[in-house]
Amino acid sequence: MKLEVSYKSIFIVLGIAFWILALIKLWSIFILIIVSLIFMAALLPTVDWLVRHKIPRLVAVLMILVVVLGSIAGIFAIVIPASISEFKDLKDHLPDKALELQNFLANFGIKDDLQKEAQNIDWNRLISGGAAISLGQRVLEGFLTFLPITTLTVYMLADARRISNFVYTTFNEKQREHGEKLLTALRLVVGGYIRVRILT
């Protein structure tokens, strides 16, 4: 039996393979754009409100950026000292807490020398230079991920009218309706969540 494959079928298969490969290679860029769109949809009503109150669009976007970055810095300023204090407290009181847990478990017939295990923890190894470097690398990776998302979000907020015109000229009416429903849902759900978090 002879199998015949048309040129059209070959091109379709090659085209699908090309798009799958492109999606795999460009996946991280798609994720950055999608996350930026979510943030843009969430913050756009606030920017539009400021613009309606006679604040230039770029100034409004920069004001929102300062508030968001200030909120994040404030969270870190509160969380990091508290975490360091909790860690010191854990280090100082772990053997006593382990003994309490050991006595509690002994009531159920579970016997283990938790206090000795707690006393044998090598805290210097846990707080070594390697751990600090690893933490520094993770912080740097987080910053390098956050930077392009922030930049794209600021651009999209500042240039929302041109992006909107591009969408209206590129996509048909049905696609635009789906896009508007999605953006409305993002504004209500994600936008409301982000705005409440910024205020609290």
Which range among 10-19, 28-37, 106-115 shows the weakest confidence by mean pLDDT?
106-115
Q: What CA–CA distance (Å, rounded) separates 39 from 156?
A: 10
Predicted local confidence at residue 53, as pLDDT: 92
Contact 114, 102 (CB under 8 A): yes
Domain that residue 159 falls in: 28-199
Q: What CA–CA distance (Å, rounded) separates 138 from 41?
A: 28
Predicted local confidence at residue 89, as pLDDT: 83
Contact 141, 134 (CB under 8 A): no
Conformational region of residue 128, where left means phi above 0, alpha means psi within -120 to 50, and beta covers everything else: beta
Assess if residue 21 is contained within a domain: no
Structure confidence by residue, pLDDT tens digits, 48-67 = 889 999 999 889 999 988 98
The one-letter amino acid code at 52 reads: R
pTM attached to this predicted model: 0.61
Task: pLDDT band for 105, please (50, 70, 90 cuts).
Answer: confident
Structure confidence by residue, pLDDT tens digits, 38-49 = 888 778 888 888
3 state DSSP class of 55: coil
* Residue owning tokens 């091109």: 11
* Residue owning tokens 């100034």: 59
Assess if residue 50 is contained within a domain: yes
Assess if residue 13 is contained within a domain: no
Total of domains in the chain? 1
Predicted local confidence at residue 17, as pLDDT: 87
Assess if residue 96 is contained within a domain: yes
5, two tokens: 């494959």
Assess if residue 3 is contained within a domain: no
Per-residue pLDDT at 1 exceeds 60: no
Task: pLDDT band for 179, please (50, 70, 90 cuts).
Answer: confident
Structure confidence by residue, pLDDT tens digits, 119-151 = 777 777 766 666 667 777 888 888 888 888 888
Assess if residue 120 is contained within a domain: yes
Assess if residue 19 is contained within a domain: no
More confident residue, 195 or 51: 51
Q: What CA–CA distance (Å, rounded) separates 39 from 149?
A: 9
Assess if residue 11 is contained within a domain: no
Q: Which residues of 140-176 are buried (b: 16+ CB within 10 A; e: fewer)?
A: eeeeeeeeebbebbbebbbebeeeeeeeeeeeeeeee
Per-residue pLDDT at 102 exceeds 70: yes
